[in-house]
Amino acid sequence: MRTYLRIRGRRAEEVSGEIVREQPLTVFVNGEKFLTLLCSPVKLEALVVGYLWMEKVIGALDEVARLEVSPVDGRAEVTLTHPVTLPTERILTSGCGGGITFRIDHRLFPRLHSTLRVPADRLAARMKDLFAAAVHYRESRGIHGAALADDERLLVVAEDVGRHNAVDKVKGEALLAGIPTEDRILLSTGRVSSEMLLKAARMGVPLVASRTSPTEMAVALAEQLNVTVCGYVRGDALNLYAGSALLLDEPVGAPRG
């Protein structure tokens, strides 16, 4: 908690509230420095495991022989069961928190084949569940929440200053808990960019829903990879940008105007 001034018009008052925490975390793999992530200092083990999986440094949790994370030192030491050549061509993503990815080429991702179908009201209910579970988001509005869900409940929830980090934490926690991500729903409070869409495809997730909008590139990738993208999900309204995993109660009406 910190004390700061809240100013409304000509009036200023002293209030106490949460300010989002952020710190660098440097990841070493087999003794070699890989990269430094800017992140929220919670669920760091899940972040490291999820990020390494997303970047195809590991393919499964059993490839990690040792993982030690020190939030105090800002270091994560990862020892794998095998030698690895770390990717070096870094791509700065459009994410907050200075997101970096190495494998953005959509040709590395196969087209998804899923029979998942989710009614619109259940998707809205799961988004409401995410807001209820995202404690830090509600308190500060300066952090992103993400969740893995089915049509009945949330399975994993994570928060971070970077929306990409939040998704990596979701995947990492799912790996640590032995929860499959295929044929699930990925929920996010942040924008669905191309990298976010590719992370979903890598996880085998056929339905991505956000409180806000996707980018044009994300929608184009979703069409190529057979991922359903919904944005501006509210209680009884949403936008469907691509895909067929959303069940509609009525036929699509003719365009207005």
Percent of the chain at pLDDT > 70 equals 88
- H or E stretch covering 158: strand 154-160
Q: Are residues 241 and 124 in the same domain?
A: yes
Instruction: Tell me the whole-structure pTM to 2 decimals.
Output: 0.88
- CATH code, 28: 3.10.20.10
State the Cα angle at 129 between 225 and 111, rounded to 5°: 10
160: helix, coil or strand? strand
Indicate if the pLDDT at residue 251 is higher than 80.
Answer: no
Residue 132 and residue 87 share a domain: no
- Our answer to whether residue 96 is catalytic in this structure is yes
Give yes or no for a contact between 104 and 90, defined as CB atoms under 8 angstroms apart. no
Residues 6+ apart with CB under 8 A from 161: 20, 22, 38, 39, 40, 96, 97, 142, 143, 144
- Confidence (pLDDT) at 92: 46
Residues 149 and 125 in one domain: yes
Q: Which of 25, 44, 76, 96 is catalytic?
A: 96
> Among 9-13, 74-78, 112-116, 213-217, which stretch is predicted with the lowest mean pLDDT?
9-13
Domain boundary among 72, 103, 134: 103
Indicate if 89 and 137 belong to the same structural domain: no
Look up residue 245 and give its DSSP letter.
-
Same domain, 138 and 220: yes
The residue-averaged pLDDT of 77-92 equals: 83
Res 106: pLDDT: 63
The last residue of a domain, from among 103, 137, 170:
103
Give residue 159's domain range: 118-247
pLDDT for 164-186, tens place per residue?
A: 999 999 999 999 999 999 999 99
In a shared domain, residues 207 and 131: yes
Looking at the structure, tell me whether residues 46 and 160 fall in a common domain: no
